[in-house]
Structures are given as C-alpha cells and as structure tokens.
A and B are shown apart, each in its own frame.
Chain A
C-alpha cells in the first residue's frame, strides 16, 4: 500500500507484498527516521518515569534482588533442594533472575510500547519502529542497571572472573532478541485483543518455572522435556556458564536459537508492517 516511486506515493487496495521492492524500500525509508526519534522518546520516557519516584533507578534491580534472596532463603531453610549449582547458589540464582528479567522485559516491550502509543499511532504517520526501538532501549537500560548491581554482588561474594565472560554479552543479546521477536510477533494480535497481553502475563509466570533460572541445569530432567525444549533454556544456561563458570554451556544450541530469534525478529517486523494500516484502522 505504501508504495513510493520517485516522489510519488501510492496508497492502494492492492496487497503490499505484490510489490516487494517497494514494500522494502518504504520499510528502509522509515528505518532512517528511527534512531533519533527512538533515542528522544526513550530518554524522555526514562526521565519522566523516574521523576515521580524517590528511589528512581534504584527500583530497577530491586525485584531481581528480592527474587534471588527469596530463593536463596528457601534453599537455605531447605524448603526446596536443588542440589549443587556448581557455583555459590546466590550468584547462580541472581544472574539467572537478571537474565530471565531481560528476556521478559524484551518479551513485553513491543506490546507495552505500542499499546501506550495507541492514540498517537492512529493520528500521526510516525514510524512505529521508533516506539519499538525505544522499547528495546528500555530493555538494554534496565539490564545495564541490574548488571551493575549484579557485578557488585558477585564481586562481594568472591565469584572468580573468567575469560569466557567476554562471550556473555552475545548470550544476553540472543536472549533479548528472542524475547523481543516473540513479543513483536504477538503484537499485531495483541493490539487488537487484550487476551494476548493477559495470556503473556500468565505465560511468563509459568515459563519462569519451565526455565532453569533458580534450579541447577543440567539435571536429571530428561532431554525431551518441556524444560529442555524451551528455547530460553540453552541461551540462559550458556550465558550464565560463560559469565560465572557454572556448568552446562551449550554454545551450539545458543547459536541456533540466536539465529532463529534474529530470523523471527525480521519476519515479525515485516508482518507488523503489513498489518499496520489494518491495525491503525481498528485502534
């Protein structure tokens, strides 16, 4: 629909995918405007969000710390027994929770950002990618703040720094891309039906227990179980292994999931662009 030829723009009832060249050219043109817009939106958003809060950014690592300490306590009083994690349990669970939160932040970011901008999307022809990119910046920023706290805790706990830690950012990236891609793939339906947002919240809670965030991996759980087939598992476990020396690194699986996530991200983005005018008409 959004076909550009020379300086002429054509909006027609024809399916956009019948002229893939024009469709991709329009997508590329929109992307050019994204970085400055997304940066401004993100920066102002962060400032505005923390302006009405006394503790401000300090709230970012609090949930991760609270979750980690809860599990450490449960382990300590033997309500749960997970066996040997290979490294101090506090370090194991804390980094697990930080990585998990990065994934869920990324998973919820597209729908949250687009949903909040709903009233603007229907009236201004700004590229929706700007809001998506601002959402990705949110995820990255939250991660950085949590990593700062995490590093301090790990150093205090005496966790040795290993050379493989330089690979950890790759794992974090794969985790973020995976979450964001799934979130973006769900966004078109999610903008129309609130059920998607509700289901995502429920699924995230369940997914937490199906991912080795707080319990050690590899374990006696069979390889064809939901936990093993869960795409987050190899990415999270490998990243944690690179960062701390915990056992269970599966670089090949991480690479496969990462590549699949990147492909899903591009596909989800293009599908969103196809869906966009139909969504705007109904928002």
Chain B
C-alpha cells in the first residue's frame, strides 16, 4: 500500500506552446520531429508566432484529492489535460503520474465510429492490458453504468451525443483508473446521468482515486473538488481551495465600471450601451446596509443603476442563481409600475438574506409595465453577471451539515 501522502500526479513547470498560424505550426511540427530524432531539446522560449497554451504550470495531486481547473475559454484547460494524459508532449517541464490514467478529453470523440459500443469498450480495455476475463466483466460494467445495454452492439456513429457522452464517461471511469481526467463531463447527457456521474466521481475519490476536473459548471466544481486552479491565458492565475478558485474566477468576469467603458477603455465600439438598448442596467450592487459583504441571515440592500433612451413605465425585480447559472434559487419582483427617467437608481432591501455562504449570480430585470416585455436583463448578454458573494456565519454543526448537502438557502422554522 502506497503512502497517501505521495503524489500520484506531479506536474512540474509544464509548458506547451502553439503557433496560431497553421502553416507556421506545421513547419514547426516538422522541425520538432527532426530535432527529436536528432536527440536535441526544443527551444527554451517561444518561437516567432507562438503563444503559450500552458505556461509554467505546477501542481501535485494525491490520492483522494480532486483538483478543479477553471478558466475562460482558451485558457489552456484542455491542453493541460492532454499533457497530463500524454497525448501531446510538453515544450518545457514534466509530469509524473503513478498508476493508470482514465481520461475523458472532449466528450465522446475518442471513439472509432465504425465500432460498436461494446467493441469500443474492448479496444480501450485492451490498451490498459486487461485480461479476457477482466475485459468481459469490465465491458458489462461499463455498458450497465452507461445504460447502454440495448445499444451495445450498434456502431457508435448511430449514437446520440448523450449516448456518446454516457459511453465516454463510463469507459474513462470504469476501467479502474488511479487518476481520472475529466473534461466538461456534464455538458451533455440528461440530468439523471449527470447525478450518477457525480456520485461515481465522489465514490472514486473516497476509494483513493485522484481526479482532475475541467468544467464550466462551477457549482459541480465547488462541491466535488477540494482544490482548484484558475488558468488564465495558459498560466496559473490562482491556486487554492476550489471555493476560493471559483470565487476568483467569477470575480474576474465582473463587469468593468461604466465610467471605464465610456472612456473607451478597450471596449471597441466606444458607444455607451444605453444608447443602443431602450433601457440599460449600468451597475448593480448588493451589500449590507451601511456597507459590508452580504451575509446569511443579515439584511441585504440591492441597488440597480440604469439609463434609458427615453422615459418608460416599468416594473423591476431580480432573480438569484447558483454561480453556474443553472439553478434559480429565488427571486422577487415589484409589480407596481414606476416611471423610469433617463437615468436613476432602483433599490430594494431583503430584510433577512436566506442564502447560505457561496457565490451566486444576481440578475436584476426591468420589464415594460404594459407589455411585460423585458427591457433589460442584467448578466445575460455579453456583459459579466453581478456576483453575489455571501459570507458564511460562524461554523456550527447545523451550518456544516447544510454545506455538506449543498444546501442553498435557510428558512425559518418553528419546531413543535
């Protein structure tokens, strides 16, 4: 039995560079192969036209640990997974992995379309060196987990994307890996299967497996992973607990102040949004009366600054979503019409905030009073949503129990 403290994955200054231009990239590929055949190392820095898709990333992962990798599109998350899986070769640094690796790189595309589901399982199992007996058992397990028994003998090209996703997860997770690399597993597939995957990953971790999870679903990341890493343009912008990482990630997606935008700072069009839309929400704030971060059980003041092209009668409200935008936790609206002038502020107070600690998204909405058509929904288009960071109160038994089951709100109860 290996000591749990010994890392199963050790990435040390991992770097991978790509050239944006295809012709140049192909030319570099030939040179890389030539250099490799001559036994010489590649260049230490980027060549002309190259950028670092993964830049000097280091981390260690032990048994039972789950590392979440979050970051915007193009941050290098998938490239990092490919490096860990050994599909591509680092340009700098190294990665050491103990044991078997199961990986799910871009859902459902690692299969031979011509082969049936069962045969694809067998081909993947053969690579891992499973014996005939092990193979038979494992194949049935994989097909059962993926709920694909009826489609087992159908070529994968006839599978729906959901079926491919189920097969991909089942193969990666069930062929007894020590390290599981998962890329956007819950992007497709039905809700029931997603829950199944979630439970499986948790059991895998409890059984001493190590997990690297790439996901835009920050809710999943927060609940499944202990540790997190925020990638930004290839480099590690933050490493810490999963919660802190997600908070940092969401914070980086905050909108910039309207004043900056009006000053034309990198916005491109230089046009204030209010001029284009009938009503624009320019700023959202949520804090305790008199200042201070939102906290469970405390009052919360919400203020929305708007600008209209012309005066309009409107009603307004807001919804609160989980940080991944998947679940609307709660919301309220004031159905009394009010006159919005060219610019102003709407405000409301929640006397006692029921949200438990975590990162949420606050989405204020302004609706036309007559037609009830939305005039402005903040955080839906290209602008970043307003993040509502709720601080937890002092830890106690009840609060910890709520956190353990991912409870989102607390309610007042009179016990008899």
- Which A residues are within 8 Å of any B CB, using their own CB? 1-2, 7-18, 29-30, 32-33, 36-37, 40-41, 44-45, 48, 117, 119-120, 122-127, 130, 188-189, 192-193, 271, 274-275, 277-282
5 nearest A-B residue pairs (beta carbon): A124-B110, A12-B94, A277-B89, A123-B110, A281-B88
* Chain B: CB-nearest residue to A130: B123
Provide a sorted-by-A list of 23 A–B residue pairs whose CB atoms are within 8 angstroms: A1-B89, A8-B96, A9-B97, A10-B97, A11-B86, A11-B94, A12-B93, A12-B95, A13-B41, A13-B42, A36-B126, A41-B112, A41-B114, A44-B116, A123-B87, A123-B105, A124-B105, A124-B111, A125-B103, A193-B26, A278-B36, A281-B88, A282-B29
> Please, how many angstroms separate the alpha-carbon atoms of A120 and B106 in the complex?
11
Interface centre among A14, A124, A278, A279 (most CB of B within 10 A): A124
Q: Is the CB–CB distance between B124 and A126 below 8 Å? A: yes
The B interface, classified by DSSP as helix, strand, loop or mixed, is: mixed
Q: Is the CB–CB distance between A41 and B123 below 8 Å? A: yes
Instruction: Report chain B residues within 8 Å CB of A29.
Output: 129
Instruction: Report chain B residues within 8 Å CB of A15.
Output: 35-36, 38-41
> Please, how many angstroms separate the alpha-carbon atoms of A17 and B37 in the complex?
7
Q: Given B37, B85, B126, which contacts A125 in the complex, CB threshold below 8 Å? A: B85
User: What's the nearest-Cβ distance from chain A to residue B178, in Å?
Assistant: 9
Instruction: Report chain A residues within 8 Å CB of B84.
Output: 11
Instruction: Report chain A residues within 8 Å CB of B106.
Output: 123
> Please, how many angstroms separate the alpha-carbon atoms of A53 and B189 in the complex?
34
User: What's the nearest-Cβ distance from chain B to residue A79, in Å?
Assistant: 43
User: What's the nearest-Cβ distance from chain A to residue B106, in Å?
Assistant: 6
B115 CB-CB contact with A under 8 Å: yes
B266 CB-CB contact with A under 8 Å: no
User: What's the nearest-Cβ distance from chain A to residue B177, in Å?
Assistant: 12
Q: Is the CB–CB distance between B122 and A36 below 8 Å? A: yes
> Please, how many angstroms separate the alpha-carbon atoms of A123 and B233 in the complex?
22
Q: Is the CB–CB distance between A275 and B33 below 8 Å? A: yes
- Which B residues are within 8 Å of any A CB, using their own CB? 15-16, 18, 25-26, 29-30, 32-33, 35-42, 83-99, 101, 103, 105-106, 109-112, 114-116, 119, 122-124, 126-127, 129, 155
Q: Is the CB–CB distance between A10 and B96 below 8 Å? A: yes
Interface centre among B37, B105, B123 (most CB of A within 10 A): B123
Q: With A32-B129, A126-B124, A281-B88 given, is the CB distance from A40 to B94 under 8 Å?
A: no
Q: Is the CB–CB distance between B40 and A13 below 8 Å? A: no
> Please, how many angstroms separate the alpha-carbon atoms of A41 and B38 in the complex?
34
* Chain B: CB-nearest residue to A36: B126
Instruction: Report chain B residues within 8 Å CB of A126.
Output: 110, 123-124, 127
Q: Is the CB–CB distance between B127 and A37 below 8 Å? A: yes
> Please, how many angstroms separate the alpha-carbon atoms of A40 and B139 in the complex?
15
Instruction: Report chain A residues within 8 Å CB of B18.
Output: 281
Q: With A120-B111, A192-B26, A279-B29 given, is the CB distance from A18 to B39 under 8 Å?
A: yes
* Chain A: CB-nearest residue to B18: A281
Q: Is the CB–CB distance between B36 and A48 below 8 Å? A: no
User: What's the nearest-Cβ distance from chain B to residue A89, in Å?
Assistant: 41
Q: Is the CB–CB distance between B109 and A14 below 8 Å? A: no
Instruction: Report chain B residues within 8 Å CB of A120.
Output: 109-112
Instruction: Report chain A residues within 8 Å CB of B30.
Output: 189, 192
User: What's the nearest-Cβ distance from chain B to residue A192, in Å?
Assistant: 5
User: What's the nearest-Cβ distance from chain B to residue A20, in Å?
Assistant: 10
Q: Is the CB–CB distance between A274 and B86 below 8 Å? A: no
> Please, how many angstroms separate the alpha-carbon atoms of A24 and B18 in the complex?
28
* Chain A: CB-nearest residue to B40: A15
* Chain B: CB-nearest residue to A6: B98
Instruction: Report chain A residues within 8 Å CB of B116.
Output: 44
> Please, how many angstroms separate the alpha-carbon atoms of A37 and B105 in the complex?
20
* Chain B: CB-nearest residue to A46: B114
* Chain A: CB-nearest residue to B16: A281
> Please, how many angstroms separate the alpha-carbon atoms of A7 and B32 in the complex?
28
* Chain B: CB-nearest residue to A26: B86
Q: Is the CB–CB distance between A37 and B123 below 8 Å? A: yes
Q: Is the CB–CB distance between B109 and A123 below 8 Å? A: yes
Q: With A126-B123, A274-B37 given, is the CB distance from A44 to B115 under 8 Å?
A: yes
Q: Is the CB–CB distance between B92 and A13 below 8 Å? A: yes
Q: Is the CB–CB distance between B127 and A127 below 8 Å? A: yes
Instruction: Report chain B residues within 8 Å CB of A44.
Output: 112, 114-116, 119, 155
Instruction: Report chain B residues within 8 Å CB of A12.
Output: 90, 93-95
